[in-house]
Amino acid sequence: MKLTDFKVLTFDCYGTLIDWETGMLEALALLVKRVQPPPSNDQVLAAHGRHEHFQELWTPTRRYSDLLATVWKRLAEEWGVPASWEEALAYGQSIGSWPAFADTVEALAYLKRHHRLVVLSNVDNASFAKSNARLQVAFDAIYTAEDIGSYKPAPRNFEYMLEKLKTLGLEKKDVLHTAQSLFHDHGPAKAIGLSSCWIDRRHDRGGGFGATVRPDAVPAYDFRFTSLAEMVKAHRKELEK
């Protein structure tokens, strides 16, 4: 199996293309500084991941920006600190300020020359539009949690994507799902029979699984790279042979 075997790369966005953990921590700083003793970054991200996943399960049709406002409220309650609803709403609107990883724009521009590019993301459309401006690429299709009415790792998100890809003339065998989260992406991708590529952005960070939930077991994947730049390097090498 080679990267160049696939016609379409389907991407998770947040954690893979957008550095959501840096964005989250910067946007949460106002709340975190009220906590004594202050939690570590890893503790903040783990707590965020727990509350976010719980909220996604209970309110699967809620827009992601609004869902994040509730996560802010739940964090404040867990930490026993004051927080206004206006602050919570502002946190939900911070998605557009979350930065892209340093290698994302160049890598996407290269991969676009060889594959169709598609997004499957736990986000709402308005928020993704702001992030997409940072990515500087025209995706061939964008499928959001707002479109689908559920959040990954729900199998229906991947089923929806595959059904819509058929309308573009693409079958399951043509797809390489490319993502950072083992929990949200690689587990359900493998369960539905998709090939997948793990972009292990947290390989040098430690601290567990960051803002994603720890999977019950590490799912299988077909490729692993520590960055998109490393993936591009491997892709170029395949073309040279």
Catalytic residue numbers, as ranges: 12
CA dihedral (94, 96, 101, 105) in degrees, to 10, reads 180
Q: Three-state SS for 131? A: helix
Q: Residue 97 is which amino acid? A: S
In sequence order, the 6+-apart residues with CB closer than 8 A to the CB of 62 are 55, 70
Query: What strand order describes the sheet that includes 116-121?
Result: 141-144, 116-121, 8-11, 175-179, 195-199, 223-225
The helix (run of H) or strand (run of E) holding residue 175 is: strand 175-179
